[in-house]
A and B are shown apart, each in its own frame.
Chain A
């Protein structure tokens, strides 16, 4: 990608691979070498890549659980308030607090709360929407949606050293691209 100008600040180094297991292996080696500020980009979900990159499991499931519980309890108390406190109505002599008839709405609202938490929580935790990214400056990166696999080590990693990191990646990858920030 042209000759690197020393003044230009970098986002990181992007290593290109053409096979799934080579990028997985590279991620494992980079983690073993001590790199932490890195990410992998693959055309399909690659099993084990998160673990290889040392990423901690996402907190999203807890958000979804919380969203579900909030939706469900809000629905139940709404029904309780409407049927018992605000507007008590005798329906066929049943008790005011007739829980079986509350269940369908409670269930639906649980699902709604969980689905909202999953969708918006996913966006928030991923930092989306994110209209531009430094990686888009690398023309070859568009292949990440087709048949190439990428591993990017970022400059902000404390171990990052342009020459050493480049040599380290070149030992494993097809090509190494510089990513301007």
Chain B
């Protein structure tokens, strides 16, 4: 298969622009950091979680495809592989949180813990040394999964038999369990512990579902953008898009299911230590974000994705993907940022600062630069594993 030089030129261009824009926005964030610490951390945490979610979501999609196979993977396999290869970058970009943890999380402040019976009891888990050690373990495990997946990724050139496909299946199954376990803890450490008295066992699963939605949408946008080039001009067909649209529909429903059931359980119990999370998120303007999530992260995409006509149309499908990617940020903002506000200080209106955009653009620029670099390498490997060959029939 001969790949067009224009494709590589295109990727190169995105790579350079990503570095430039990421560098500019990152510089802006760095300059304003000393004077805007208060605004920087919530913005940075939301932006970091957004792009980390795409990396991990790509990892999850690659592993789901590794376990189940299916011709839809022919379309996005290399894209999600390049997506999860951004994890080392995200490990570096974790450093501001590593050093900032003491000013982000209440439990990291010894004065607060001393006078707080609940936090004193939780200090065995919620302490800075544990936070740092666990972060190292999460990234190490994720990168080991990345390495093992790359080794068993379908590659026609190296071994066309099904040995590699079977190994990919095993690695994907074990890797998925490891991902589910480590990300559950990471979601507790980095997100849920912003409100250290509150807990929900559904929380991490909602985040995993959100990552799945976002990364499926991201991979779709990439292949639709590049569908005039090989190999996508051959793999992006209306039938595959229909299958892929069904996956998007299922992921949107899964996200809504998890989100609603956390709400239903807490609403039914109506205990003050549990419902405080939703009380905080349904006042001072946050309720508008909640309603927009119900409408645009569930109702509208759900109804549109029911239509076969829309699912088979690359342009309409990518518009839905764009909407969901935007709503993923709203979801994270609504989940994370209210945790920074103490109940007394919560003024009217949602705190929106230009740093929200700057941090998102800064991390995103670097993320896309690494992504396009890895993609231009990974698409050179031909995919034609036996599973996919059957799918052609």
Contact of A103 (CB < 8 Å), options: B239, B260, B270, B393:
B260
A contact face: mostly helix, strand, loop, or mixed: helix
Contact of B264 with A101 in the complex, beta carbons under 8 Å: yes
| Nearest Cβ on chain B to A101's Cβ, whole angstroms | 7
Closest to A98 in B: B267
- The docked-state distance in angstroms from the alpha carbon of A92 to that of B270 is 9
Given A47-B239, A101-B268; A61-B263 close (CB under 8 Å): no
Number of interface residues of B (CB under 8 A): 10
- The docked-state distance in angstroms from the alpha carbon of A92 to that of B393 is 59
Chain B 361-379, CB-CB to A under 8 Å as 1, else 0, gives: 0000000000000000000
Q: Inside 8 A of B170's CB, which chain A residues have their CB? A: none
Contact of B270 with A100 in the complex, beta carbons under 8 Å: no
Query: In B241-280, which residues have CB < 8 Å from any A CB?
Result: 260, 263-264, 267-268, 270
Q: Inside 8 A of A92's CB, which chain B residues have their CB? A: 270
Q: Inside 8 A of B260's CB, which chain A residues have their CB? A: 103
Chain A 42-59, CB-CB to B under 8 Å as 1, else 0, gives: 001001000000000100
Closest to A61 in B: B308
A112 at the interface (CB under 8 A from B): no
Q: Inside 8 A of A94's CB, which chain B residues have their CB? A: 270
Q: Inside 8 A of A101's CB, which chain B residues have their CB? A: 264, 268
Closest to A91 in B: B268
Query: In B298-317, which residues have CB < 8 Å from any A CB?
Result: 306, 308
A65 at the interface (CB under 8 A from B): yes
Given A61-B308, A65-B306; A104-B264 close (CB under 8 Å): yes
| Nearest Cβ on chain B to A121's Cβ, whole angstroms | 16
- The docked-state distance in angstroms from the alpha carbon of A104 to that of B267 is 14
16 residue pairs from A and B, CB less than 8 Å apart: A44-B393, A47-B239, A57-B308, A61-B308, A65-B306, A92-B270, A94-B270, A100-B263, A100-B264, A100-B267, A100-B268, A101-B264, A101-B268, A103-B260, A103-B264, A104-B264
Chain A positions near chain B (C-beta within 8 angstroms): 44, 47, 57, 61, 65, 92, 94, 100-101, 103-104
